[in-house]
Structure 1
Amino acid sequence: MAYKPQAEPAKAPYRPDPRITQLGKKIGDPVQAAEFPRHILRFRNDRWDQTIGLSDLTEQEWLDHFGRFEPLSDNLDPPLALRYHGHQFRNYNPDIGDGRGFLFAQMRDHEDRLMDLATKGSGRTPWSRSGDGKLTLKGGVREILATEMLEALGVETSKTFSLVETGEELHRGDEPSPTRSAVMTRLSHSHIRFGTFQRIAAEQNQGLMHALVDYCLAHFYGGATTDNPAIELFQKVAAQSAKLAASYMTAGFVHGVLNTDNINITGESFDYGPWRFTPYWEQGFTAAYFDHEGLYCFARQPEALHWNLAQLASALRLICDSEPLVATLEGFPKSYGIAFTEHFCWRLGIKSESFEKDKPLVVAAEQALTQKTITIDQFFFDWGKDSVPNNVIYESDLFVPFRQEMEKRTRARASSHEYWQSETPCSMHIDEVEAIWDAIAKDDDWQPLNRKVVAIRNMGKALR
């Protein structure tokens, strides 16, 4: 089956549905948002606010809900800081949870999915440890850029829903300080993490584990269809995780911190810190300066998600047998390979036929790209058009196997969109990210960011 990107958002009424409370008091802790000296709206997602019935909010109402966090009607009051454990760079940490955020609201979207609105930078919680619970404005800007770019490139991702500057000066050890502060709200199809299951397993709470499995199946996967819900959930999560890993690779994206507390049970990417897009197909490219061993480098991301699935399987053993969990884990490489070839063909704009038929083309492309004679974005931009690109690089012996495979393929996407008439592709490399932030930091100039969001969304339309 060929990869299909997410459909365009559509308008829907506001339908509150705070189902998280069904899981009882041990899933999270009631908290209150910090009080901020200022509330300046810097970003409002005018694509996705309509999908959950909030597009008609005035700016003041928006700031009341997403700057001061006054509860939405018939929704969570107070919000909940969710509890979880997690492996961080493969070291188990039982002392974590939502340390600078909380689950603010839940509602149904235009496709009747249960959606979460959760915060980042909203102040201290019982899980903050020594942190201040705040978010730098730069961190919020970077998350806008990451989520917009990934959405356009066909990656299942959380959406940056709102960014409000809060008027404080924050001190951080890894960037120039003091720096401006913000509070962000993200929209996602769940904030249940692998680490949520790990905590429950560590506490040996079989009742809550059964309840959480049922909750996830019912609200994210259409309900249980077998007598083994834990196995069924794991199989579905593994399939979604394979697709996520595949889409990271074809997007040239490096998340940077693929810890089990940063992996969503729905297979959506979220929680963006030191992320980067690699310009070239460079297998060892890392995003986090502290990833000294390259654990989460570009080429090892599928391995990281596979390892994380093994930790989820270990947690689920509390309520089910190991054998079917192991069988699913053993099938992950094949699932990933299929998803990778499908997503690669989608980005090229050609019809995916089958794994066996697609594999020679994708292998040929990878082998050529690893020589770093052309950037990832330029490669997909050049070959995403109807005509064979006029570039001497593609005439080299390096690209002969790939060109031969492309001659056999059928176009699956028209290239009449104005994006394909551009001189260069839309990219998101670190120099541009820093330039966008510098304009804000030095001159409070938000136009480069706004223009980039428009350009990214335009590319997304062309790819869809």
Structure 2
Amino acid sequence: MKLSEVTLSHHYADLGDVFGALVAPTPFSQPQVIDVNPAVLQLLGIDPNEKSEPAWAQLGCGAKLFNGSRPFAMKYTGHQFGVYNPELGDGRALLLGEIETGGQRWELHLKGAGKTPYSRFGDGRAVLRSTIREYLACEALYGLGIPSTRALCLIGSDERVTREKIETGAMLIRVAESHVRFGHFEYFFYTKQLEALRTLIGITCQRFVPGTEGLTTGEQAEALLRFTTRRSAELVASWQSVGFAHGVLNTDNMSIIGDTFDYGPYAFLDDYDSTFICNHSDHTGRYAFEQQPGVVLWNLNALAHALSAFISVEVLRDCLEQFEPAVSEAYAHRMRVKLGLAQEEAGDQALCADLLQLLQQGQVDYTLFFRALAHYRGERPASALLDLLKPAHHSGLEQWLQHYDRRLARENSDTRERNRAMLTANPKYILRNYLAQKVIEAAEEGDYHPLRTLRQLLQSPFAENPEHEVWASAPPESGKRLPLSCSS
């Protein structure tokens, strides 16, 4: 499909003004195309060769609309840092409409598009820094096999925007199967708009929860809560396995279908630290890395409360009780795969926990260690692994490797095959914050080549790409724990 042939439908906007407001974008006067993502073009059924079309500059900033588009600001609320905020909604983003291709429907969401009725005191803009971070993070998580929104294109400008400092404005088009958040359900519940809540439950089930057609609203709500609980459990388990910290897991940043959603002050772990806090606004550590499973469960409780008009307390409890076992099972499976273990044994959890404790005590780079372990063949000395630890921790690693060797022996697997499998589970390239900062600084000087290079590497994070070895390096000390705020 050519870019000029793209025609959007607008199922969500058709629900009416109870669900949001029609709003015209506020375009940039001099938009600049920074990048168009060929992988997402292909996902949407658009010819990847169309990435060079001049029309992207206008389409990507709202100066020109796709055929059929009716830009719509969605209304929702949510709990932020545990406190309910009734004033939320799309304050700087617009749902442009939906592309239907290959039996799927993909929503296009323009971020940074200007003020809406839900902007409160905001300017409705996004800045280049935060937009680059989201653009890359979408592809990083997706490349790791973790459900995520995607990013279609990134548009820059000379427009001045004030955050912690004066920056330039930017926009991106986010792509997702759904932009419905936990907070959408909270909005209708707390404002006592139960018919709208019933409609939202019905349309969400119709699209994403098989076998719910013809059920009562209560039965649909239960099926939806079980679906979202399972998806959310699998999502947070996948974050923990790759060392991803979201940073601001408010209920308005939680996707009802279990996508990673609303990238802000996120970070991938460098040195392993279970207590890591990536958001410098998180003074209590509510969203620390190790707290993420518990916070997701807290958010699911908030969602369950929003559905309580249609589901009994006993059923709500039963739905939520599936979360912890689902997280444990999904995390254990992912960690066994990272360790090259095809079979399950009772001691695997302890083996994994002992390794993480060793990594934490030794301040060992999480990604580099597991990538090196994917090459391990029982050699002594295990130089590639020992080199990642300070000498004081070498004996601890040797003891752990002895346990690991005995565990691998019981697998009775081919070493080369195990290594190959582990190399597809332990990435070489991740979106470290110092790399994102390097790309941002180049882009601020008008050089977008580093951004495109990193985007391509993150889309294939398990490939060796030896010519790009520098992008797989550990950060310098100055590149660790970079301060990140919600405006990131």
* 2:364 matched residue in structure 1: 374
| Counterpart code for 2:10 | P
Quote the Cα distance in structure 1 between the aligned partners of 2:45 and 2:333: 33
With normalisation by structure 2, the TM-score equals 0.83
Using a 3 Å threshold, how does the CA distance of structure 1 residues 132 and 21 change in structure 2: closer, same or farther? closer
1:153 deviates by: 2.0
| Counterpart code for 1:168 | E
* 2:224 matched residue in structure 1: 233
Cα contact 2:40–2:151 (8 A) shared by 1: no
Quote the Cα distance in structure 1 between the aligned partners of 2:64 and 2:57: 9
Q: Structure 1 residues 309-318 or 246-255, which shifts more?
A: 246-255
Quote the Cα distance in structure 1 between the aligned partners of 2:346 and 2:73: 46
1:72 matched to 2:74 = no
Cα contact 1:23–1:208 (8 A) shared by 2: no
Cα contact 1:100–1:123 (8 A) shared by 2: yes
* 1:5 matched residue in structure 2: none
Quote the Cα distance in structure 2 between the aligned partners of 1:158 and 1:324: 30
1:365 matched to 2:363 = no
What SS does the corresponding residue of 1:165 show, helix, strand or coil? strand
1:14 deviates by: 5.7
Using a 3 Å threshold, how does the CA distance of structure 1 residues 119 and 300 change in structure 2: closer, same or farther? same
Question: Of 431, 436, 445, which residue of structure 1 is paired with 2:434?
Answer: 431
Q: Structure 1 residues 259-268 or 139-148, which shifts more?
A: 139-148
Cα contact 1:149–1:456 (8 A) shared by 2: yes
What SS does the corresponding residue of 1:26 show, helix, strand or coil? coil
Cα contact 1:361–1:405 (8 A) shared by 2: no
1:70-105 Cα shifts (integer Å, max 9, x gaps):
3322x332x110000110000110011000001112
* 1:122 matched residue in structure 2: 113
| Counterpart code for 1:64 | Q
Using a 3 Å threshold, how does the CA distance of structure 1 residues 326 and 76 change in structure 2: closer, same or farther? farther
What SS does the corresponding residue of 2:239 show, helix, strand or coil? helix
1:43 deviates by: 1.5
Q: What does residue range 389-428 of structure 1 map to in structure 2 within 5 Å?
A: 390=383, 391-392=385-386, 395-409=397-411, 410=413, 425-428=428-431
Q: What does residue range 171-186 of structure 1 map to in structure 2 within 5 Å?
A: 171-173=162-164, 177-186=165-174
* 1:6 matched residue in structure 2: none
The alignment-based identity, stated in percent, is 27
Using a 3 Å threshold, how does the CA distance of structure 1 residues 283 and 216 change in structure 2: closer, same or farther? same
* 1:286 matched residue in structure 2: 277
* 2:156 matched residue in structure 1: 165
> When the two structures are aligned, how many residues end up with a matched partner?
440
Cα contact 1:121–1:134 (8 A) shared by 2: yes
| Counterpart code for 2:180 | I
| Counterpart code for 1:381 | R
1:103 matched to 2:91 = no
Quote the Cα distance in structure 2 between the aligned partners of 1:322 and 1:167: 53
* 2:36 matched residue in structure 1: 44
Question: Of 454, 460, 484, which residue of structure 2 is paired with 1:452?
Answer: 454
Using a 3 Å threshold, how does the CA distance of structure 1 residues 284 and 28 change in structure 2: closer, same or farther? same
| Counterpart code for 1:63 | A
Cα contact 1:14–1:52 (8 A) shared by 2: no
1:357 deviates by: 6.8
* 1:251 matched residue in structure 2: 242
1:195 deviates by: 0.3
Using a 3 Å threshold, how does the CA distance of structure 1 residues 208 and 340 change in structure 2: closer, same or farther? same
* 2:133 matched residue in structure 1: 142
Cα contact 2:31–2:58 (8 A) shared by 1: no
- Unpaired runs of at least 5, structure 2: 465-488
Cα contact 1:84–1:96 (8 A) shared by 2: yes
| Counterpart code for 1:271 | D
What SS does the corresponding residue of 1:76 show, helix, strand or coil? coil
1:383 deviates by: 2.3
1:285 deviates by: 0.6
1:54 matched to 2:54 = no
Cα contact 1:18–1:106 (8 A) shared by 2: yes
| Counterpart code for 1:197 | F
1:220 matched to 2:208 = yes
1:316 matched to 2:298 = no
What SS does the corresponding residue of 2:205 show, helix, strand or coil? helix
Using a 3 Å threshold, how does the CA distance of structure 1 residues 146 and 372 change in structure 2: closer, same or farther? farther
Quote the Cα distance in structure 2 between the aligned partners of 1:244 and 1:300: 14
What SS does the corresponding residue of 1:186 show, helix, strand or coil? strand
1:320-361 Cα shifts (integer Å, max 9, x gaps):
21211111212211110011112223444543x458575344
Cα contact 2:62–2:113 (8 A) shared by 1: no
Quote the Cα distance in structure 1 between the aligned partners of 2:276 and 2:20: 36
* 2:73 matched residue in structure 1: 81
Higher Cα Rg, which structure: 2
| Counterpart code for 2:460 | N
Question: Of 163, 183, 203, which residue of structure 2 is paired with 1:195?
Answer: 183
1:211-248 Cα shifts (integer Å, max 9, x gaps):
11111111123351665110000000000000111111
1:92 matched to 2:46 = no
Quote the Cα distance in structure 2 between the aligned partners of 1:357 and 1:109: 46
1:21 deviates by: 3.7
Quote the Cα distance in structure 2 between the aligned partners of 1:461 and 1:209: 45
Cα contact 1:195–1:260 (8 A) shared by 2: yes
Quote the Cα distance in structure 2 between the aligned partners of 1:272 and 1:355: 36
| Counterpart code for 1:291 | D
1:259 deviates by: 0.2
Quote the Cα distance in structure 2 between the aligned partners of 1:209 and 1:413: 51
Q: Structure 1 residues 215-224 or 269-278, which shifts more?
A: 215-224
Q: What does residue range 292-303 of structure 1 map to in structure 2 within 5 Å?
A: 292-303=283-294
What SS does the corresponding residue of 1:25 show, helix, strand or coil? coil
Q: What does residue range 345-360 of structure 1 map to in structure 2 within 5 Å?
A: 345-351=336-342, 353-354=343-344, 356=346, 358-360=348-350
Using a 3 Å threshold, how does the CA distance of structure 1 residues 387 and 213 change in structure 2: closer, same or farther? same
Quote the Cα distance in structure 1 between the aligned partners of 2:101 and 2:248: 29
- Unpaired runs of at least 5, structure 1: 1-12
Root-mean-square deviation (CA, aligned residues, Å) is: 2.7
Question: Of 195, 201, 205, which residue of structure 1 is paired with 2:193?
Answer: 205
Cα contact 1:14–1:53 (8 A) shared by 2: no
Using a 3 Å threshold, how does the CA distance of structure 1 residues 271 and 212 change in structure 2: closer, same or farther? same
Cα contact 1:106–1:117 (8 A) shared by 2: yes
1:287 deviates by: 1.0
